[in-house]
Structure 1
Amino acid sequence: MQQSPPLATFRYSVRAGQDEAFETWLRDLLALAVTVPGLIGVSRAAQTNTPGATGWEITCRFETESDRDHWVNSTVLAKAHAEAAPLFVSPPLAISDVDDEAARMMVVTSHVTPGREADWHAAQARLNGLVVGFPGFDGLEIFKPSGDSHNWTTVLTFRSKRDLENWKGSKERRRLLSQLEETKHDSVDVGPAAFGTWFVASTTASRPAPEWKQAMVVLAVLYPLVSFYDITLGNAAGQGLAIAGHPIIRGLGLPFPVVVFLGNAVGTVLLSWMLMPAAVRLFDWWLDPAASQAQTIQGALLLIALYVLEVAAFSYVFEAWGF
């Protein structure tokens, strides 16, 4: 696997009225940077203005960490920063990082109801217009639905993981998403989640369900599935099924690791294509990130009661039938 390029990011807070002088200085600095051994890329971005200052961010990509450290600690860079000190509100901030593309990428899937494509395109244009001007934005790609699907996919890339997190938590993004929710726009955020894509089936959520809710639903489905497999197919594949000492099913006698593998294979298929989609639809009202506090409490109590019933039912089966 190819190693991710090391990064050196410099953040500058430029005094009000000094932007033109800073850009002249920056051009000279970048002219020096592109001659540095090991440099493979440079990007620059002007950030949102703050009272009395303008934030700038310069990111340099290098072939090796040694190349990066050589530039960051060079006398040439130190001299350039010292000469430009009167332009800055505060000293430049240097951040060393690694270009982990997956960590700085955000995938957004939108399920668009047939007939509402024009509304979605208009809403998506507003969101895209906001993100392309956001500090740290690096790229945007939109993929059309394939086959009979109605899912549009948007891939956003930022210069660093920190930039991505800033975008995800920004007031601008939350404000626009709240507007989309108010108009019942059916966009689904499919960023990294604990349980993959099971919990992005809802067409009314604009962000993933809370992970603790995801875990509770998975447990409610996984426990009875595993228990039922152990009683039936697990025994049939292993040493057989006997109730109170009387053989019911003659087992295949497969080794225990093989029995476990078969259980995982069967469980994966049932969970992915049957059980979890049904469970997500059943608890969609509770998984919704916009669910009220009363809904959240009701759903949690319902699942706890379901746990108790499941454990009691299988305890009775194991004790009464003598497994």
Structure 2
Amino acid sequence: MSASANRGRGGAGATVVTSQKVAPGREEDYKRWQERVNRAVRVFDGFEGTELYPPDSADDNQWVVVFRFSDVDRLSAWLGSAARRQLLDDGHDLFEGEPSQEVLHGGQPAQEAVTAVVSHTVRPGREQDFERWQDKVLKAQQKYPGFMGSELFAPVEGIQDRWVVVFRFDTREHLDQWLQSDVRRKLLDEGRDSVADYDVREIASAFSGWFRFGEGEQAGVPPNWKQAMSVLLALYPTVMVLNLTVGRGLTHADVPGYLGLFISNVLSVAILTWLLMPLVVNRALAFWLAPDRPRSRRTDLAGAAVVAVCYAALLVVFGFTV
């Protein structure tokens, strides 16, 4: 995939990314509080969706929430509303320290593969130096494996004065390779003249668009290993059935192999996106997949066992069919 760099200053869409460290032992209280926030924001004009990203580990306990609005004015109305201020007051004791947030005006949704959101406090009068430095960072990023694109968001007047950079990699391993690289550390040292401080947060989900729980929103995503197992459970029978039906029909019709494969891929993606994942897999495995359900090792093992049994059953069925 080709790398890209965009200036996220135009466009109608507006997004706020909030990072908040939940106090130990208050995770369930936080989830209930966050659901109250989700219900409150739905009634505001221009609201388009929200995502909740749980931490990768209990030690981190840093939760990331993304709210999307149709434009920055409607987002500003939510951020400055009395309803939100009351909710923040009600949930104040759930957090360690103050939550941080970045407002992104325009650009692409910060939700592809593994995404890092980096906010910068730029020294007054050094904005052009900062942009030139960011161009240098982008050129270095483009040389790293898995880099998918980067966007630079200027401050939003009246809401925040920090610059925000959103960049994406295809896997967490590739993102970490960049974040921990000597090249990046050297660039950070070079940028200290124009940047007073910065903060990094990661948003990770490999198949997040296929895992939606709740009405009109994505209330979070399950761990990547559950996503991969679930996608395979839906993908394998889809591909097999298409090969046995559409694939044979295209072969008999002398359709070229490359074109037949493209048609089959289009059909399989459509079936997974609008049929099998939302209507079958997510519902049948909600006890195991839904992020807001209580998690335990027993539940994780039970869900994995159910999926493994389904794998075996599918192999037996198609073994007799082919």
- The two structures have a TM-score, normalised by structure 1, of 0.42
- The two structures have a TM-score, normalised by structure 2, of 0.42
Higher relative contact order (CA 8 A, sep 6+): 2
